[in-house]
Structure 1
Amino acid sequence: MSEEFEIKNKVASSGLVNFDLTDLVPKGIRKGIDLKDFLYMEIILKEKDFREKVAAINPEDYRNQYVYIYNSADAIVPLWAYFLITARITDVTKKVIFGNKEDLEVLLMHNAIQTHDFDELKGKRVLVKGCSDKEIPENAYIELVEQLKPIVKSLMFGEACSNVPIFKN
């Protein structure tokens, strides 16, 4: 084939580095614990009953998992209740938080972005992948820009064929 008809991949030769935030999503099972299940009639915390139910938790059910503790009941629960559950399982879990699954995902992505080594992207033109099969918290994109703005040459969002320029240094 002659050179004038040669097909060239302009994206590959552009020096553009693709970055996919889903690569930073911590792998592991997410599991919730609803305090409602530990309350008398699902609305009242009776300390003795509560402590018995917490003692009955098998920590192995949460081994190497990301756990979020929440309260779906319309009940006021003292802070020490969360302490008891956390103390029961924290030795075997990867992480325990108070909140819902979305809160857990925000925190996990925050930690992943804050601890990731972005040195490989210094001075590069970076394209952050826009489409994903995993749900990424919006806050993760904001934190990513904070991390990349001081070090990359330029930042774009989307796909190579249709991206949105964010900034150039």
Structure 2
Amino acid sequence: MSEDFEIKNKVAESGLINFDLSSLVPKGERIGIDLKDFLYEGLILKEKDFREKVAAVNSQDYNGAYVYIYNSAEAIVPLWAYFLLTAKLTDSAKKVVFGNREDLEVLLMHSVMQTHDFSELEGKRVLVKGCSDESIPENAYIELVEQLKPLVKSLMFGEACSNVPIFKN
């Protein structure tokens, strides 16, 4: 082999910044609470019983967790019931939301997209990683484009060897 032959990493030389959206996914346990378990026979909210069950909740079980409250019984529950349960958990949980696990993830990523400092990507050519071990809500990708479009020189999606150009400024 000739000494003139040199292996070059064209991806590294391209100035392309790889951005993995999964690196922004908030870390922490996710715990769901089904309101059905607080209802009389899983269907009816009796205020006294409900308050007793909420009082019996050990809020430390939710310490540092992301909590989503849902109602699998589809029973009609007054809004104050959500207030009461949320008030019990807010001192321990990182975040409490109403909805399913997917709703929680959408809200968490929305919060990240609104607060993350993307300034280190300003004027750069950015490739958003296409595959991830984490489940990332589609809305996070939409919000990422909204955040990056005014900042970056160009945006691509996929992998370095096979990417889809999204836009160039």
- Normalising by structure 1, what TM-score? 0.98
2:146 aligned partner: 146
Distance 1:16 1:3 in 2: 28
Provide the residue aligned with 1:157 in structure 2.
157
Distance 1:131 1:89 in 2: 34
**In structure 2, what is the equivalent of residue 85 of structure 1?**
85
Cα root mean square deviation, aligned: 0.9
Q: CA deviation at 1:113?
A: 1.3
Paired-residue identity, %: 81
Q: Secondary structure at the match of 2:163?
A: strand
Aligned equivalents of 2:160 and 2:61: distance in 1? Answer: 43
Q: How many residues align?
A: 169
Mapped partners of 2:41, 2:74: distance in 1 = 11
4+ aligned runs moved over 3 Å, structure 1: 1-4
Partner Cα distance (2:2, 2:166) in 1: 38
Matches within 5 A, 1:57-68: 57-68=57-68
User: Counterparts of 1:1-169 in structure 2 under 5 Å?
Assistant: 2=2, 4-169=4-169
1:61 is displaced (CA, Å) by: 0.5
1:61-85 Cα distance to aligned partner (Å, 9 max, x none): 0011000000000310001110010
Per the alignment, in what secondary structure is the counterpart of residue 117 of structure 1?
Answer: coil
SS in 2 for 1:77: coil
Separation in structure 1 between the aligned mates of residue 103 and residue 165 of structure 2, nearest angstrom: 29
Deviation (angstroms), 1:154: 0.2
Offset at 1:5? 1.9
Alpha-carbon distance in 2 for matches of 1:85, 1:78 = 12
Structure 2 unmatched runs, 5+: none
| Amino acid across the alignment from 1:142 | I
* Distance across 2 between alignment mates of 1:2 and 1:120: 40
Unaligned 5+ segments in structure 1 are: none
